[in-house]
Chain A
Amino acid sequence: MFQARPSRRRALAAGVTTAALFLAGPTALAGCTASAPAPEGPDPLEAPARRAESDVALAAAVAQAHSTLAATARALAADRAAHAATLRAELHRVHPDPVPTSTAQPVPPVVPPPASPDAAAARTALTEAMRAAQDEAAALVITLPGYRAALLASVAACCATHTALLT
């Protein structure tokens, strides 16, 4: 990728090492770092995963209903499907066993509305879905641990790029 003259590559590598040392440090400094959230209630990634799945369904319906929006909606569906898959993989990594239904907190499924017969309304629906997804992911970026925060930061940024293309 884009690089300065070769010496900068070493400088950047040194920066990564510094950051890794920083990451190893905070456990000893409780006053300067956030502790891990208590594992109660649904995993905070559950909602963005469901929303991503819902957006895939919405975008697929829009792509089928409106040829003028098909390319945009299909690209959106592909990105949101990638989000759903990665979020589900992280959820599975942390919770490899399904939670017994007796203790699981019920999470209502996100049901996308059917694609509007009006193309402008369908475009608005996609835009609103992307803005909502961006807002949801951005709020989680502030509170979640590093890897998850970075993952949701990319999700939020991706949703912003789709909003930019839709408006």
Chain B
Amino acid sequence: MAPCRAGVQVPVGALQGALAAEHAAVWVYGVAGAFVSSGLARRLDEAATAHQARRDATQRLLIDAGVTPVPPEPGYLGPEPVTDAASALRLMITAEMDAAGAWRSVVERSPADPDLRGTALEALTAAAVRATRWRATAGATPLTVPFPGAP
């Protein structure tokens, strides 16, 4: 049974999945910074900071629920090696869509708790918007998907 946080059940598996996705996204932005143009540095930093904040908040949520948060992996395998700006952007888009999917699962598996569902919706929305902005930067099409985060 999932632990209760102040009377609200926490979907531990989904939150651990979201935390794992945030760990991965933080790692991706660390790697991508070496490949994308310096003109994107500010946007890259903002994205990395956003994922670090989500990671930290999710860790706290799990600890408060009496659960050990999953640690980051020492390294991650993307769909392709990162060798230039284009492959770095594709990996960033992949990381954002993974995060969107993980947070959508938190929405789906949460009880109707405004705090947790609201947080998960914010995280899903922010990831989807970043993915779209990176697609625009990369000149990728389509720029949007109808159901961000859907399996």
Instruction: Look across to chain B and name the residue whose beta carbon is closest to the beta carbon of A33.
Output: B111
For the complex, is B100 an interface residue (Cβ under 8 Å from A)? yes
A32 in contact with B112 given A2-B76, A149-B117, A164-B133 (CB within 8 Å): no
Which of B14-22, B39-47, B50-58 lines the interface with chain A? B14-22
> How many angstroms between the C-alpha atoms of A19 and B106 in the bound complex?
9
* Least CB separation from B114: chain A residue: A142
Q: Which residues of B contact A33 (CB under 8 A)?
A: 9, 111
B12→A149 contact, CB < 8 A: no
Bound together, the chains give a CA A75 to CA B134 distance in angstroms of 17
In the complex, how many residues of chain B place their beta carbon closer than 8 angstroms to a beta carbon of chain A?
60
Report the interface size for chain A: residues with CB under 8 A from the other chain.
54
Which residues of A lie under 8 Å from residue B11 when comparing CB positions? 19, 22
Q: Are the CB atoms of B9 and A26 closer together than 8 Å?
A: yes
B144 and A154 contact, CB distance less than 8 A: no
Q: Mark B80-98, 1 if CB is under 8 A from A, else 0.
A: 0000000000010011011
B146 interface hit (Cβ, 8 Å): yes
Cα of A1 to Cα of B136 in the assembled complex, Å = 20
Cβ 8 A contact of B24, one of A4, A34, A144: A4
A-contact bits for B125-151, CB 8 A (1 contact / 0 none): 101110111001000001111111110
Separation of A31 and B28 alpha carbons in the complex (Å): 41
Asked if A60 is an interface residue, CB under 8 A from chain B, the answer is: no
Q: 0/1 per residue, B29-72, Cβ < 8 Å to A?
A: 00000000000000000000000000000000000000000100
Contact indicator A32/B111 (Cβ below 8 Å):
yes
Whether B124 sits at the interface, judged by CB under 8 Å, is yes
Which residues in B have their C-beta under 8 angstroms from that of A15?
12-14, 16-17
**Are A154 and B73 touching (Cβ within 8 A)?**
no
Partner-A contacts on B (CB < 8 A): 1-2, 4, 7-9, 11-14, 16-17, 20, 24, 28, 70, 73-79, 91, 94-95, 97-98, 100, 104-105, 107-112, 114, 117-118, 120-121, 124-125, 127-129, 131-133, 136, 142-150
Beyond A2-B76, A2-B95, A8-B73, 4 additional contacts (C-beta under 8 Å) are A14-B13, A18-B13, A141-B118, A161-B129
Residues of chain A touching chain B, judged by Cβ–Cβ distance below 8 Å, are 1-5, 8, 11-12, 14-23, 25-26, 29, 31-34, 75, 78-79, 82-83, 86, 134, 138, 141-147, 149-151, 153-158, 160-162, 164-165
Q: Can you give 13 contacting A-B residue pairs, CB < 8 Å?
A: A2-B76, A4-B20, A11-B70, A79-B144, A86-B147, A150-B108, A153-B104, A153-B107, A153-B120, A154-B149, A154-B150, A157-B100, A157-B121
